[in-house]
Structure 1
Amino acid sequence: MAGSAPKSVRHVVLDELSGGIVEKLDAGSAAFINSSGLAQVSPMGMGLYRVEPRGKVGSVRTPQLQLDVRPKDRLGLERLLFLLSYAGEPGFREDDVHAAAAPELWGALAESLAQLAERALNRGVLQGYLTMEESLRTVKGRIRISEQISRRPGMLVPLEVSYDEFSADIAENRILRAALERMGQVPGVRPDVLSRLRQLKGKLDGVTRLPSGAPLPPWSPDRRNVRYHAVLRLAGLILRNASAEAGEGDQRAASFVVDMGEVFRDFVGTALRAALAAYPGDTRLGVNALLNEAVEDADRLSVTPDAVHYLGGRPVVVYDARYAARSDAGASLSGDHYRMLAYCTALQVPTAWLVYSGAGEIKLRRVLNTDIDIVEFPLDLSRPPSEILAAVADLAEQSWGEVLRQARQG
């Protein structure tokens, strides 16, 4: 099967809500799984360990074991990668990730990266202007006067200069090279895909290598680098969430771990802000609102809703995205309603929209002895990406309609 782990590697699949299982593991695999944060591995003696999900999803691969923890509601691999990518780049297309070509995460990531990198580099390595700062004996570009005076007072040479050089050693290529290296270190990637990744990295050998753990250099999408857009979005996803490291000898282990609560919150915020751009006002994410009156800063209490829409500088509606906000019976948990009530009180808005992951019907709940409404809005992540985005657009339309209705009444 394409992209599957070697036969010698056991493949264990868990649901993120499952209670865990007992597996026979070697100490190295147990330690790596624990360090990844994907699951809690506890020794039980005689080489047996209890493996329990820790509220995150992803995959860990060691020389002996591949452990996959999958999202609830049987959310497919294609959907997970779409949500991750869209949160980082609105407008991300689902066909930018070739998950259908590989039945598991590592195969999908490797194949997608190879295909997108080949497309990006088909016309050659991208070049751009890079600002260089050097000490030279002749003038090149412009002299950095302040540095010249502070570093070499009274000296004419060498000169502290700054100039632009047309080079392939730019942020876009550094990010791409780092992602190709990262995926090339993952054990179990199909040999033909691994060969493609190495050939692609060879085209970037003259590009500065990013140190492990270093922040990604900033880049801005424009017409010059348009052919790199898709591969850089995927490369960023890989570098932010995947790790690969060497073990004993030439054995390697790799992990790709994400927090679905954060993924859902980031996706809803990004998609909602894009949808609300069609209406007056502006949408702000992660607004910090004061909840109480306090004389000293240490006594201040604040709340941070996921999104707030403002009109004329005044908040008019608040939103919160809760991946685990739904019980098995389909009703949202009361703790989330308390939180929404606090948002409305702190921001003085009449309506809060609780966006939760799952299927169901929209429900409106009026809080007793108040004029505050809490609307539960389900977002079914099992649907195709186009339908998920259409549902977010419907959320924006309905919530804006409620703002207009209350404005007329007020």
Structure 2
Amino acid sequence: MTDIELVENVPLSLPLGDSAGRALAGSGVVEATPDLGSAGWWRVRAKNVVGVAAVRVAGGETITVRVSPKVPINRLMFLLGYSRSFNGWRDDQVQVDDEPDLLPVFARVFALHAEQALQQGLLKGYREVEETAQVMRGRIRFSEQVRRHHGLLVPLEITHDEYTTDVAENRLIRSACEVLLRLPDGIPGDVRTRLARLKLRLADVTPVPHGHPLPAWRPNRLNVRYHDALRVAELVLRGESVEHRPGEVTVHGFLFNLAKVFEDFITVALRDALGQSGGYSVLQASHHLDDRNAIRMVPDFVHYEADGTPLAVVDAKYKAQRPDGFPDADLYQMLAYCTALNLPEGHLVYAKGNAPHGAHRVRYAGTVLHQHAVDLDQPSAGVLADIRTVAQRLVSS
């Protein structure tokens, strides 16, 4: 088995066989190309993803790829706490001092929240069940009855509500346990034991099949003790989506798309910061550029006045910047947003790179395009202070 240690967006030249290099290139986990300067070497880079993945090559070889974030692990965990969901799990003080890598930290956090969720027993709820039965229960599915039994009275095709532990909340937690237990070595033995114990408690719960959409659940007073565990479980299950890529290369992974993590953090944190300013905010607001509504555009964040008039538009950009500043294409995109929303100013928010805050006034149009930089390599209080500064510019412009 081959182990590859990478840092996000930092290329590394490695000696690899052709089959291993091609498998990495087709995995979707990293970018891999032959190193033209050295025969038998491949240039490998993980672009905007962090985590761990096992890539199985033809012939039985397995390549384990571990990608570490540039920001500290506890800072990344803090950002993940802002993933699209309800308020909660925003504590930056996770137990990471003894864990230098993302996978052990995240597995430990998940195990902790899952144990707390199940401490009072498994959640039960009603689930609609469709089945063939000899006795009447619930409601008859008339179309299925006619299609399958051609007028016979029995058996019956029925649907009924069953009070069970096999509900969406438990299914998500069990599936996340299985994903973490399948990952390559890296999870501490005590955490692996805790995950196995959790899976055993959920033995009668149906896991989510590979490639199927995650079951929907809604936060309410009955499942409130599950909330934190479910948020972490969904992050785990979305992080393994690379496993479902079509192709000949098999990949089992736990990978976060940092562009999505950053976008979720910026938009949710801005919505929270503007909560008392009046109006309302919409994430991924759908608008159109043209009069016929043919050209759809979806800004990451739009803040509206109470009557629905757009007040500010924001797009989050987690990307490597050029030596001379932020990418020009982002400015063109933001200008289109401002034009469609009839706004005099627009705001681009970047993970801090090599350019300070800037503003550009568009010739003839007069539109002002702001570019903000949020420094992620600082304590969480400083990160949130940067967000509040951006929020103040939105409502004062």
Please say if 1:104 is aligned against 2:101.
Answer: yes
Which has the higher mean CA deviation after the structures are superposed, 177-186 or 368-377?
368-377
Of 371, 380, 386 in structure 1, the residue corresponding to residue 366 of structure 2 is 371
Residue pairs, 1:247-258, within 5 angstroms: 254-258=252-256
Aligned position for 1:168: 165
Whole-Å separation in 2 of the counterparts to 1:64 and 1:208: 29
Aligned position for 1:119: 116
Q: Can you give the 5+ residue segments of structure 1 that lack an aligned partner in the other structure?
A: 1-7, 246-251, 403-410
Aligned position for 1:51: 44
Whole-Å separation in 1 of the counterparts to 2:77 and 2:331: 30
Please say if 1:24 is aligned against 2:15.
Answer: yes
Given residue 266 of structure 2, which amino acid in structure 1 is its aligned partner? Answer: V
Please say if 1:81 is aligned against 2:74.
Answer: no
Q: How far apart are residue 237 of structure 1 and its match? A: 0.8
Given residue 379 of structure 1, which amino acid in structure 2 is its aligned partner? Answer: V
Given residue 38 of structure 1, which amino acid in structure 2 is its aligned partner? Answer: V
Whole-Å separation in 1 of the counterparts to 2:172 and 2:64: 27
Given residue 233 of structure 1, which amino acid in structure 2 is its aligned partner? Answer: R
Aligned position for 2:247: none
Whole-Å separation in 2 of the counterparts to 1:10 and 1:153: 60
Q: Determine if contact 1:89/1:233 at 8 Å carries over to the other structure.
A: yes
Residue pairs, 1:136-151, within 5 angstroms: 136-144=133-141
Aligned position for 2:189: 191
Q: How far apart are residue 355 of structure 1 and its match? A: 1.3
Whole-Å separation in 2 of the counterparts to 1:119 and 1:130: 24
Cα 1:95–1:302 change in 2 (3 A) is: closer
SS at 1:264's partner residue? helix
Q: Determine if contact 2:4/2:63 at 8 Å carries over to the other structure.
A: yes
Q: Please provide the CA RMSD for this pair.
A: 3.3
Of 6, 25, 33 in structure 2, the residue corresponding to residue 13 of structure 1 is 6
Q: How far apart are residue 65 of structure 1 and its match? A: 5.5
SS at 2:176's partner residue? helix
Superposed CA deviations along residues 19-46 of structure 1, whole A, max 9, x for unmatched, are x222233566545533442322234687
Whole-Å separation in 2 of the counterparts to 1:293 and 1:131: 44
Superposed CA deviations along residues 59-114 of structure 1, whole A, max 9, x for unmatched, are 3356876544344xx31222223323422324332358544442112212222222
Whole-Å separation in 2 of the counterparts to 1:398 and 1:197: 45
Give the aligned length.
380
Q: Percent identity?
A: 36
Aligned position for 2:213: 215
Given residue 180 of structure 1, which amino acid in structure 2 is its aligned partner? Answer: C
Whole-Å separation in 2 of the counterparts to 1:46 and 1:379: 41
Whole-Å separation in 2 of the counterparts to 1:353 and 1:328: 21
Q: How far apart are residue 186 of structure 1 and its match? A: 1.2
Cα 1:380–1:227 change in 2 (3 A) is: same
Of 346, 369, 391 in structure 1, the residue corresponding to residue 340 of structure 2 is 346
Aligned position for 2:246: none
Q: Determine if contact 1:326/1:356 at 8 Å carries over to the other structure.
A: no
Whole-Å separation in 2 of the counterparts to 1:213 and 1:363: 43
Of 175, 183, 207 in structure 2, the residue corresponding to residue 178 of structure 1 is 175
Aligned position for 1:226: 224
Given residue 177 of structure 1, which amino acid in structure 2 is its aligned partner? Answer: R
Whole-Å separation in 1 of the counterparts to 2:13 and 2:202: 44
What TM-score does the superposition give when structure 2 sets the normalisation length? 0.82
Of 33, 39, 51 in structure 2, the residue corresponding to residue 42 of structure 1 is 33
Whole-Å separation in 2 of the counterparts to 1:354 and 1:75: 21
Whole-Å separation in 1 of the counterparts to 2:164 and 2:336: 53
Q: Determine if contact 1:136/1:159 at 8 Å carries over to the other structure.
A: yes
What TM-score does the superposition give when structure 1 sets the normalisation length? 0.80
Cα 1:96–1:38 change in 2 (3 A) is: farther
Q: How far apart are residue 156 of structure 1 and its match? A: 4.2
Whole-Å separation in 1 of the counterparts to 2:147 and 2:65: 57
Cα 1:100–1:93 change in 2 (3 A) is: farther
Q: Can you give the 5+ residue segments of structure 2 that lack an aligned partner in the other structure?
A: 56-60, 244-249
Cα 1:215–1:381 change in 2 (3 A) is: same
Residue pairs, 1:305-384, within 5 angstroms: 305-311=299-305, 312-324=307-319, 326-328=321-323, 331-358=325-352, 362-384=357-379
Whole-Å separation in 2 of the counterparts to 1:222 and 1:180: 23
